[in-house]
Amino acid sequence: MTIIVTGGAGFIGGNFVHYMLKKYPDYRIVCLDALTYAGNRETLRDVAENPDFRFVHGDITDREGVYRLFAEEKPDIVVNFAAESHVDRSIENPSVFLTTNVIGTQVLMDACREYNVPRYHQVSTDEVYGDLPLDRPDLFFTEDTPIHTSSPYSASKASADLLVLAYCRTFGFPATISRCSNNYGPYHFPEKLIPLMITNALADKPLPVYGNGENIRDWLYVGDHCRAIDMIIHNGKIGEVYNVGGHNEMKNIDIVKLICRELGKPETLITYVEDRKGHDLRYAIDPTKIGKELGWSPETKFSDGIKTTIQWYLENRKWWEDILSGEYKKSSLFTK
């Protein structure tokens, strides 16, 4: 079994590469990554010498390069993690998000059709549903919730999802989609909330919190997410969307205070900043479908997962310090 994992040098994709190589020692995993600012070769250092792993530096929007890779590897499954994913950056420059997230998805699906790839999986986000009111804790996103995007990022991911479903209907394309809640865990790029707060707190720097910090997110430990995708690509029903959520709703401000407590840092480091444009209030996923159909459920409680995550950042300072200094861009791993 050969699986092409796009965006495998990123946060969730990198964790998925580690997970799959450990669980399936007879599988071949090929990572295709453009190594944009959020891609880090060092995330894959522990698997670099694995004979069943190959790293390819390339862009999913490069049709010629993608087709060449598919011709060489003849993959059985393609899992697409590759995406521009930072909401603030999408507000500043929407065009790169549309190019990577929509056109890149089309190129991958066209390559799958050209080379008769049996399975394609699109990794999406709960942000395509928009947000939920803070005063209705009984409401959750289901797979039937209408798409209602709030940012150029979520709009680009929703566009890609619709394109995947259109390919399923028009061409009988063998695809599935998963929409996950906010992930956290090892190898998370330091611009995102949890790793930013950890790394800033360790350096006694201000901890910037948007607005009043009351926005709520449903947090999913990245290992649980990898397990869900594993189940979907092996047993999921073609043409279906699966919501993957952690049942771990937390206010942003409560997460920041928790991190301060765990690291023994004062809450006086917290600094409230101007709120993000179009900032979604609350995300909450109902994962009933994937539970009933595939037997998946989140195993990691947030109280445990956040401690594991903080400990990982304490034990892997060089990984994130090199990112903050820019040294990670000079990594010679996978270069000749």
Condensed to tens digits (0 to 9), the pLDDT of residues 217-259 reads 999 999 999 999 999 999 999 999 999 998 899 999 999 999 9
pLDDT of residue 124: 97
Is the distance from CB of 232 to CB of 176 less than 8 angstroms?
yes
pLDDT digits (tens, 9 = 90+) for 260-272: 999 999 999 999 9
Is the confidence at residue 150, as pLDDT, over 60? Answer: yes
pLDDT of residue 92: 73
Phi, psi of 264 (to 5 degrees): 65, 35
Set 153, 167, 242, 283: catalytic member:
153
pLDDT digits (tens, 9 = 90+) for 40-81: 999 999 999 999 999 999 999 999 999 999 999 999 999 999
pLDDT of residue 247: 85
127 catalytic residue (yes or no): yes
CA 270 to chain centre: 26
Structure tokens at 260: 């301060």
pLDDT of residue 246: 86
pLDDT of residue 33: 96
Structure tokens at 162: 């619709």
> Where does residue 308 rank: exposed (0-12), middle (13-18), buried (19+ CB within 10 A)?
middle
Which residue, chain included where needed, has tokens 């071949």? 28
Tell me how far apart the alpha carbons of residues 177 and 238 are, in angstroms, rounded to a whole number. Answer: 9
CA 212 vs CA 190, 196, 222, 270, 303: distances in Å: 21, 18, 27, 11, 23
Set 42, 126, 131, 161: catalytic member:
126
pLDDT of residue 138: 87
Tell me how far apart the alpha carbons of residues 279 and 300 are, in angstroms, rounded to a whole number. Answer: 27
pLDDT of residue 86: 61
Q: Give percent of the chain above pLDDT 90.
A: 82
84 catalytic residue (yes or no): no
Report the SS3 class of residue 59: coil
pLDDT of residue 88: 65
CA 206 vs CA 199, 257, 266: distances in Å: 10, 13, 11
pLDDT of residue 85: 65
Average pLDDT rounded to a whole number, residues 90-105: 86
Set 33, 59, 73, 127: catalytic member:
127
Name the DSSP class of 326.
T
Closest CA to 82 of 25, 120, 115, 118: 120
286 pLDDT band, cuts 50/70/90, is very high
Task: Tell me the residue type at 51.
Answer: P
Mean pLDDT computed over every residue of the chain: 94
Is the distance from CB of 81 to CB of 5 less than 8 angstroms?
yes
Pick the range with the lowest mean pLDDT from 10-24, 96-110, 268-282.
Answer: 268-282
Name the DSSP class of 129.
G
120 catalytic residue (yes or no): no
Tell me how far apart the alpha carbons of residues 312 and 305 are, in angstroms, rounded to a whole number. Answer: 10
Tell me how far apart the alpha carbons of residues 77 and 176 are, in angstroms, rounded to a whole number. Answer: 11
CA 328 to chain centre: 20
279 pLDDT band, cuts 50/70/90, is confident
Half-sphere exposure of 241 (CA within 13 A, CB side): 25
For 242, the enclosing helix (H) or strand (E) is strand 241-244
Name the DSSP class of 119.
E
pLDDT digits (tens, 9 = 90+) for 77-93: 999 999 876 666 767 77
CA 33 vs CA 24, 72, 329: distances in Å: 21, 16, 14
187 pLDDT band, cuts 50/70/90, is very high
